[in-house]
Amino acid sequence: MSESESGSVLTVKDLQVHYGAIHALRGISLEVPDGKVVALIGANGAGKTTTLRAITRMLRVTSGSVRFRGEELTRLQPHEIVARGLAHAPEGRGIFLNLTVRENLELGAFLRKDGDGIRSDLERSFQLFPILKERVDQVAGTLSGGEQQMLAVARSLMSRPQLLLLDEPSLGLAPQIVERIFQVLREVSQSGVSLLLVEQNAHKALQIAHQAYVLETGEVVMKGTGQELLASPEVRKAYLGE
């Protein structure tokens, strides 16, 4: 049975990654069901960002399999992966600071040829994040941290992804901005886009996650539904500060 037939948009099996002599990922296996939110939680250095970077071929994989709708990704280049319908909003936002908000958003759609659809998605970005419409001709480097994060999420959606990978979307943001980001992620998920979310705010991540994995030193040590992990004494003690 293929991944799409079994209901998974992404299937990662026994993923191994080395940084020189450092064994960074030690056999990571996970699945993202179609249209669902999956969270990766764990301490700094657990391998969460490395996992996302390996999936999108920003890092070389030592061994293992990454299949997106049944197609092996480890043989593709990053731009080919984007063209398949997978977008990555990296940690640190990765926006073009010297370009305007509009130019950043248009670059998110650089592989697309449907002008009407691009214009429609620009309006959708402004509905999700009204502040971006106010700032549309402003250079991205002059935006606040929260506005830059909103731009990073909106830009990644401009490629019309089937699966969106997000790395620490709430990092360093004010509480009201965090609330807005997570509200948008819920809306994006409800529109049918699958999400793989790396997030230090484990409580927020588990609240919206259908499935979640706990990583420690490059290995999956626990998995379950978001609610199961929220209720887990080990998770509450280690990651929720209780």
The predicted-structure confidence for 113-141, as pLDDT tens digits, reads as follows 899 999 999 999 999 999 999 999 999 99
Confidence of residue 6 (pLDDT cuts 50, 70, 90): low
Coil/strand/helix, residue 49 = helix
Q: pTM surpassing 0.85?
A: yes
pLDDT number for residue 111: 84
Q: Could you give the percent of the chain with pLDDT greater than 90?
A: 85
Q: At what angle do helices 145-157 and 175-190 cross, to 10 degrees?
A: 10
pLDDT number for residue 172: 87
Nearest CA to 239 among 230, 221, 207, 209? Answer: 230
Q: Are 140 and 99 in contact (CB under 8 A)?
A: yes
Tally of structural domains, the chain: 1
Average per-residue pLDDT for the chain: 92
pLDDT digits (tens, 9 = 90+) for 208-217: 999 999 999 9
Q: At what angle do helices 115-128 and 145-157 cross, to 10 degrees?
A: 150
CATH assignment at residue 222: 3.40.50.300
Q: Could you give the percent of the chain with pLDDT greater than 70?
A: 97
Domain range for 49? 1-85+196-242
Coil/strand/helix, residue 40 = strand
Confidence of residue 1 (pLDDT cuts 50, 70, 90): very low
Q: Are 42 and 214 in contact (CB under 8 A)?
A: yes
Residue 47 belongs to a domain = yes
Structure tokens at 147: 């506005």
